[in-house]
């Protein structure tokens, strides 16, 4: 029984280590594209904010314009952060579901193997 448990844990660890290499390449590319888009958006928003601060400090825009534009830029940044968090949570949920499925599959296989082994032991116990 201990060997089965150790084998099961080892199987899970090996699966977790190698599963990223066998995931669909397109999914990984899509995730990278989304990350790059988010990074570009964040950089653009940051640049806008820095430029806005500079323009305000140099007296190029009024306080009212500054506040209005700052609210707009803050809204953009908030939307990017929300989308990023949503993507992260979706990926986390998918990973958890995949792990749960693999664990259940492994448990079923271990249970079936143990049951088969138990039947064999019982059959040999009664042979005369």
In this prediction, residue 71 carries a pLDDT of: 95
Q: Could you read off the pLDDT of 30-69 as tens digits, one per residue?
A: 555 566 667 888 888 899 999 999 999 999 999 999 999 9
Task: Reply yes or no on whether the pLDDT at 78 is more than 60.
Answer: yes
Instruction: Please give the average per-residue pLDDT across 89-101, as a whole number.
Output: 89
In this prediction, residue 20 carries a pLDDT of: 62
Q: Please give the mean pLDDT across all residues of the chain.
A: 76
Paired tokens of 36: 């790059």
Instruction: Please give the average per-residue pLDDT across 60-83, as a whole number.
Output: 92
As a whole number of angstroms, the distance between CA 20 and CA 100 comes to 16
% of the chain beyond a pLDDT of 90? 29
pTM score, whole prediction: 0.50
SS3 5: helix
Confidence band of 105 (pLDDT split at 50, 70, 90) = confident
Task: Reply yes or no on whether the pLDDT at 106 is more than 90.
Answer: no
List CB contacts of 127: < 8 A, sequence separation 6 or more. none
């Amino acid at each position: 029984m201990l060997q089965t448990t150790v084998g099961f844990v080892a199987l899970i660890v090996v699966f977790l280590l190698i599963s990223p290499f066998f995931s669909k390449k397109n999914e990984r590319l899509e995730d990278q594209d989304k990350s790059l888009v988010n990074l570009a958006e964040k950089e653009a928003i940051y640049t806008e904010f820095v430029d806005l601060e500079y323009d305000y400090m140099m007296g190029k825009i009024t306080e009212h314009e500054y506040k209005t534009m700052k609210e707009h830029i803050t809204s953009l940044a908030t939307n990017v952060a929300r989308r990023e968090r949503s993507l992260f949570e979706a990926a986390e949920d998918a990973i958890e579901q995949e792990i749960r499925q693999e664990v259940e599959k492994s448990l079923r296989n271990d249970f079936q193997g143990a049951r088969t082994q138990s039947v064999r032991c019982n059959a040999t116990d009664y042979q005369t």
